[in-house]
Amino acid sequence: MKVLIFMGQFFRLDGSERLAVELAEELNKRGVHTDILTMYSAELSGMAEAREEILKRGVPSVHFLGMKVHPSLWSMVIAIMRLRSLIRSEGYVVIETSVMTPAVIAAWATLGMKARNIVGLHHVFTREGYNNLWHKFWRISLEINSRIRFYAVSKYAKKQWIFYSKTDPGRTHTIPNAIADEYFIAKSEKASLCRELGIPLGGRIVIYIGRLAEYKGIGNLLASLGPILEENNLYLLYAGSLDENVNGSVEIMCSIKNQIVENGWGKRVHFLGQRNDIPRLMASSDLLAHPTLREAFGLVLVEAMAAGLPVVASNVEAIPEVLAGTDSIMVHPDDPDALRAAVLKTLNRHPDETARAIEKGRKRAQDFRMAKRTEEMIQFFGDFIQGHF
């Protein structure tokens, strides 16, 4: 079996892109030849360095379709023909992709071919949020190629996909996301982190990790904790980069920064930007706050639990599924008072209660090991090839 994982980009690994590279790495470790294909050109900034890093991680080949960012319809037609040619020349049996544009290209490229096309569903799809002309064309592309099979990252995402797409439920499986082993061995370096940020060693650190996007609830987080930072010796960290492609994100960030200045919270709120030491940040903090409005899975929740970091999150979509069996507190995403109370309750637990909560979180995180996901993917590929569904 020879697998090709078709990505949008890999020079900045976020979410599904990071999972795709990690899956390719793990599949190769298990003897499944797996290469990576990106839509874009090798000349794009950062591509050469990223390609070398991926090759060092054991991926045999990295291919490029040579497309530009925001491709035209004609360039997509060319890309379809190039992908068909690549499949034939390299003998790929499975094409996996988890991003819309690559999914459209792969759907048409594999039409009438022996290669099996698998689409990963990393979002919660609804007619309200995914119903413009591009989304309709995407759905049509997936409908025309009836041999495509899907996997959703949570039971909730699967249920919503079946309702949204009207596809046969038997075509969609559930394969949860997974995290890297480094989170399970992360060690606290709180003293070092406090020195870096100018935080007193006794300060209590609440951290948000993810894209700075409006729907992630970053504004509600500040509204909830800003007024109580000083009296409770709290420090709020935002780790992640601004997602300018999401409506309202630029505006909410401007509002957040204005509130910080107006209220004099500058010494207690820190923006860390994109970081490559997330396990260290988690192990060195006191609580992860994840007040998102929607979530198909929530990798950051599992990463935090594996690192021994207590969690307070929104009670939305797939989050209750992921946090099942833990002592994590979940609240309504639009209730700053409830979020504030949950944060304080978690931080003020008795040490024994905190230890039990951390242990439950670590145990739950074990269900999302990379090795388990890889084995489930191999089984999924094999069953598909053999025509079991």
Domain boundaries, the chain: 2-178+370-385, 181-367
Q: What's at 131, amino acid-wise? A: N
How does pLDDT run along the chain (389 residues), one tens digit per residue?
899 999 887 655 566 778 888 999 999 999 999 999 999 888 887 788 888 888 998 999 999 998 887 778 888 899 999 999 999 999 999 999 998 999 999 999 999 999 999 999 999 999 888 989 999 999 999 999 988 999 999 999 999 999 999 999 999 999 999 999 999 999 999 999 999 999 999 999 999 999 999 999 999 999 999 999 999 999 999 999 988 888 889 999 999 999 999 999 999 999 999 998 999 999 999 999 999 999 999 999 999 999 999 999 999 999 999 999 999 999 999 899 999 999 999 999 999 999 999 999 999 999 999 999 999 999 999 888 877 55
* 97 burial type by CB count under 10 A (0-12 exposed, 13-18 middle, 19+ buried): buried
User: Which pLDDT score is estimated for 262?
Assistant: 95
With b meaning 16 or more CB within 10 Å and e meaning fewer, what string describes 188-212? Answer: eebeebbeeeebeeebbbbbbbbbb
Alpha-carbon gap, residue 106 to 142, rounded angstroms: 9
User: Which pLDDT score is estimated for 159?
Assistant: 97
| 96 neighbors 5 (Cβ within 8 angstroms) | yes
- Measure the CA angle with vertex 351, ends 345 and 357; round to 5°: 70
Q: What's at 164, amino acid-wise? A: Y
- Pairing, β 269-273 against β 94-97: unpaired
Task: Name the residue among 150, 151, 117 with its Cα closest to residue 4.
Answer: 117
Q: What's at 10, amino acid-wise? A: F
What is the sign, positive or negative, of the torsion defined by CA atoms of 313, 319, 320, 326? negative
CA distances (Å), origin 227, targets 70, 124, 232, 335, 344:
42, 33, 10, 15, 13
User: Which pLDDT score is estimated for 389?
Assistant: 57
Alpha-carbon gap, residue 115 to 203, rounded angstroms: 56
Question: What pTM, to 2 d.p., does this model score?
Answer: 0.92
Tokens of 240: 């992640």
Q: Does the structural domain 2-178+370-385 have CATH classification 3.40.50.2000?
A: yes
Query: Same topology for domains 2-178+370-385 and 181-367, yes or no?
Result: yes
With b meaning 16 or more CB within 10 Å and e meaning fewer, what string describes 266-292? Answer: eebbbbbeeeeebbbbbbbbbbbbbbb
Alpha-carbon gap, residue 97 to 34, rounded angstroms: 13
Alpha-carbon gap, residue 210 to 233, rounded angstroms: 24
What architecture does CATH give domain 181-367?
3-Layer(aba) Sandwich (3.40)
Which phi and psi (to 5°) does residue 310 adopt? Answer: -60, 150
